[in-house]
Chains A and B, each alone.
Chain A
Amino acid sequence: MYRVMTFRTVLLILLFALPASQVMAGEPETGLPADYCEWELADYAIAKSLCGLAGDAARGKAISSDGGRGNCLACHQLPIPGVEAYGTIGPPLTGIGTRLSEGQIRLRVVDTRKINPMSIMPGFYRDPRLIHRPGKRYAGMTFLNAQQVEDVIAYLVTLK
Chain B
Amino acid sequence: MMIKGKLSVWLFTIALAAALSVATAGEPRSGYEYIKQATRDMQDDDFENPGLLTVEKGLVLFNAQPDGAGKACAACHGAAGESLDVSKIARYPVHNGNGLVSLQRQISTCRINNGGSPLPTNHPDLLSLETFVRNRAAGEPVNVQTDGPMAPLLGKGEQLYRQRYGLIDMSCQHCHDYYPGQMIRGQKISQGMGNGFPAYRLDIGEITNLSQRIEQCLTLMRAEPFEADSQDSLLLQLYIMSRSNGLDIETPAVRY
Instruction: Report which A residues bind B (CB closer than 8 A).
Output: 67, 73-75, 84-89, 120, 122-123, 126, 131-136, 138, 141-143
Contacts and interface: CB of A to CB of B under 8 A. Distances in A.
Contacts of A87: 182-185
Contacts of A73: 185
B183 A134 contact: no
Contacts of B165: 132-133
A120 B170 contact: yes
24 contacts: A67-B185, A75-B184, A87-B183, A88-B183, A89-B179, A89-B184, A120-B175, A120-B178, A120-B179, A122-B169, A122-B170, A123-B169, A126-B169, A131-B167, A133-B166, A133-B224, A134-B166, A134-B222, A134-B224, A135-B222, A135-B223, A135-B224, A141-B167, A143-B167
Contacts, number: 68
Contact of A138 (B163, B167, B186, B189): B167
Interface of B: 163-170, 174-175, 178-179, 182-186, 189, 218-219, 222-225
Contact of A134 (B170, B178, B182, B223): B223
A87 B187 CA distance: 8
- Of A84, A122, A143, chain B has the most CB atoms within 10 Å of the CB of A122
- Of A67, A85, A87, chain B has the most CB atoms within 10 Å of the CB of A87
Contact of A74 (B185, B218, B219): B185
A74 B182 CA distance: 11
A86 B185 CA distance: 4
A45 B116 CA distance: 63
Contacts of A88: 182-183
- Of B165, B174, B183, chain A has the most CB atoms within 10 Å of the CB of B183
A143 B255 CA distance: 28
B224 A85 contact: no
Contacts of A89: 179, 182-184, 189
A75 to B, nearest CB: 7
A90 B29 CA distance: 23
Contacts of B166: 131-135, 138
Contacts of B186: 84-85
Contacts of B182: 87-89
B183 A122 contact: no
Contacts of B185: 67, 73-74, 85-87
Contacts of B168: 122, 143
